[in-house]
Amino acid sequence: MSKVIIIGAGGVGNVVAKKCAQNDEVFSEVLIATRTVSKADKIVAEIHEHFPNSRAVFSTRAVDADNVPALVELFREFQPELVINVALPYQDLTIMDACLEAGVHYLDTANYEPRDVAKFEYSWQWAYRERFEQAGLMALLGCGFDPGATNVFTAYHAKHHFQAIEYLDIVDCNNGNHGKAFATNFNPEINIREITANGRYWDNGNWVETRPLEISQDIYYPKVQTRTSYVLYHEELESLVINFPTIKRARFWMTFGESYIRHLNVLEGIGMTSIEPINFRGQQIAPLEFLKAVLPAPESLAENYTGQTCIGVQAKGIGKDGQPNVHFVYNVCDHAATYKEVQAQGVSYTTGVPAMIGAMLMLQGIWQKPGVYNVEEFDPDPFIDAMNRWGLPVDQLGGIELVRD
């Protein structure tokens, strides 16, 4: 039985908290800390309504995740074993600093990126390795779905199906419908910055840069349908090509509908996706921050969401028998089913469940050693087993190449 703090009370924070309530054999006390405490209070009220038999004790607190002294004071008062960070990626480093000062383990779902530069990479967080090692603390980075479960799927490929992975394709399809003209499934600032940035993929020891949404192909997503998918740069590629050095090429693909792309092109064309502040009536405001304020909150999409997500990893290379092999490991998640279970849409669910699982494995000592780590550096089997138990069943497809060269 363990005490944890969840920082963040958006769509993902909601899922993490409710999965902790379900898993009360591991999580005994949970504090949800966020800038807007009323959002955390709403989650706790829904836990009491939907999971009345949970033995986990929940409380809430207002905190500014940019304020290290305030975080340290909160951590020392509550004395958690672990902080689960599902706040904004801009706040990763301040929360890591507070964990070091207070002596608390750390987990997040997305790597750090500066608020004023559309650039995300692990270098800032990897720089904390020695400090966490010396403190006897562990930081687990990118433990959502992608990154997170996709890293686990890659490690599973390497452990069970391949002597050498040579070609890796991570695919992410949201074949859902939320009924809105335009909305993002997670934080609009992060989502739009990611999509409008140049793409990158790994090819024979070098990063190849592409224009936004320049490369596409139609990909069949099992149990869902065929969808046009686009190459983006995604953070898990950075660690995977290091931890699996046999990889010759690694790409990340994501689906977008024509309507979404049309809206995004218009918004970008009129400057609404810019992160450069402008002076508006005497105040400095980034157009993207204003756009975030007028778009629907991702958690508000959940109730009427229909359709499924399909996220997986295709690996090609030399199989365990020494012969060429191709294998696909994936999950399909239903939006309506996740709303019925935890009042969340599938994108939040697929991020929040792996965060709870990673926290559980750390607290149980199954994934536990001092330092800063990415998910693929641990045994994938306990994580896969937990995905099957906690709502994200894992499927496999062998011998069929879904993503073409």
- Give tens-digit pLDDT for 4-56: 999 999 999 999 999 999 999 999 999 999 999 999 999 999 999 999 999 99
Other beta carbons within 10 Å of 345: 30
Same domain, 230 and 279: yes
Same domain, 101 and 155: no
The residues, any chain, with a CB within 8 Å of residue 340's CB and separated by 6 or more, are none
Classify burial at 319, counting beta carbons within 10 Å of its beta carbon; exposed 0-12, middle 13-18, buried 19 or more: middle
Nearest to 18 by CA among 72, 63, 84: 84
Tell me the pLDDT tens digit for each residue of 316-342. Answer: 999 999 999 999 999 999 999 999 999
Same domain, 250 and 336: yes
- Could you tell me if residue 285 is inside a domain? yes
The pLDDT of residue 118 is above 70: no
Q: Which of 113-117, 231-235, 276-280 comes out lowest in average pLDDT?
A: 113-117
- Could you tell me if residue 366 is inside a domain? no
Cβ(301)–Cβ(185) below 8 Å: yes
User: CA–CA distance from 346 to each of 82, 238, 267, 296, 299 (Å)?
Assistant: 25, 25, 26, 16, 10
Q: In what order do the strands lie in the sheet with 105-108?
A: 57-62, 27-34, 2-7, 82-85, 105-108, 138-141, 371-374
Q: Which of 177-186, 208-217, 371-380 comes out lowest in average pLDDT?
A: 177-186
The residues, any chain, with a CB within 8 Å of residue 343's CB and separated by 6 or more, are 14, 18, 46, 50, 302, 303
- Could you tell me if residue 176 is inside a domain? yes
The pLDDT of residue 1 is above 80: no
Q: What is the dihedral of CA 179, 220, 325, 395, to 10 degrees?
A: 50
- Could you tell me if residue 350 is inside a domain? no
- Could you tell me if residue 355 is inside a domain? no
Nearest to 100 by CA among 67, 62, 71: 71
- Could you tell me if residue 382 is inside a domain? no
Confidence of residue 115 (pLDDT cuts 50, 70, 90): confident
Same domain, 250 and 286: yes
Token code pair at residue 362: 């750390």
d(CA 202, CA 167): 10
Same domain, 184 and 98: no
Same domain, 266 and 330: yes
d(CA 336, CA 340): 6
Token code pair at residue 369: 């050693």
The pLDDT of residue 90 is above 80: yes
Q: Tell me what percent of the residues of the chain surpass a pLDDT of 70.
A: 99
Same domain, 32 and 122: yes
Peptide bond into 147 cis (omega under 30): yes
Last residue of a domain, one of 108, 141, 174: 141
User: CA–CA distance from 8 to each of 39, 353, 357, 375 (Å)?
Assistant: 9, 15, 17, 21
Average pLDDT over the chain, rounded to whole? 93
Last residue of a domain, one of 141, 159, 177: 141
Instruction: Give me the CATH number covering residue 281.
Output: 3.30.360.10
Number of domains in the chain: 2
Same domain, 129 and 257: no
**pLDDT score recorded for residue 401:** 97
Same domain, 268 and 324: yes
Confidence of residue 265 (pLDDT cuts 50, 70, 90): confident
Tell me the pLDDT tens digit for each residue of 277-291. Answer: 888 888 888 887 888
Same domain, 136 and 190: no
Confidence of residue 186 (pLDDT cuts 50, 70, 90): low
- Could you tell me if residue 405 is inside a domain? no
Tell me the β-bridge partners of 115: none
B/e letters for 80-119, b = 16+ CB within 10 Å, e = fewer, are bebbbbbbbbbbbbbbbebbbebebbbbbbbbbbeeeebe
Same domain, 163 and 309: yes
Same domain, 164 and 102: no
**pLDDT score recorded for residue 162:** 98
The pLDDT of residue 303 is above 90: no
Cβ(160)–Cβ(371) below 8 Å: no
Instruction: Give me the CATH number covering residue 15.
Output: 3.40.50.720
User: CA–CA distance from 81 to each of 6, 31, 84, 356 (Å)?
Assistant: 11, 12, 10, 14
Strand bridging mode 278-280 / 105-108: unpaired
Last residue of a domain, one of 141, 169, 196: 141
Owning domain of residue 13:
2-141
Confidence of residue 310 (pLDDT cuts 50, 70, 90): very high
The pLDDT of residue 181 is above 80: no
**pLDDT score recorded for residue 197:** 82
Confidence of residue 301 (pLDDT cuts 50, 70, 90): confident
Cβ(311)–Cβ(145) below 8 Å: yes
Helix, strand and coil in the chain, % to nearest 5: 40, 30, 30
The pLDDT of residue 266 is above 70: yes
Q: Which of 10-24, 36-50, 245-259, 295-309 comes out lowest in average pLDDT?
A: 295-309
Q: Which of 35-39, 163-167, 245-249, 304-308 comes out lowest in average pLDDT?
A: 304-308
Mean per-residue pLDDT, 93-107: 98
Q: Which of 6-15, 167-176, 252-261, 292-301 comes out lowest in average pLDDT?
A: 292-301
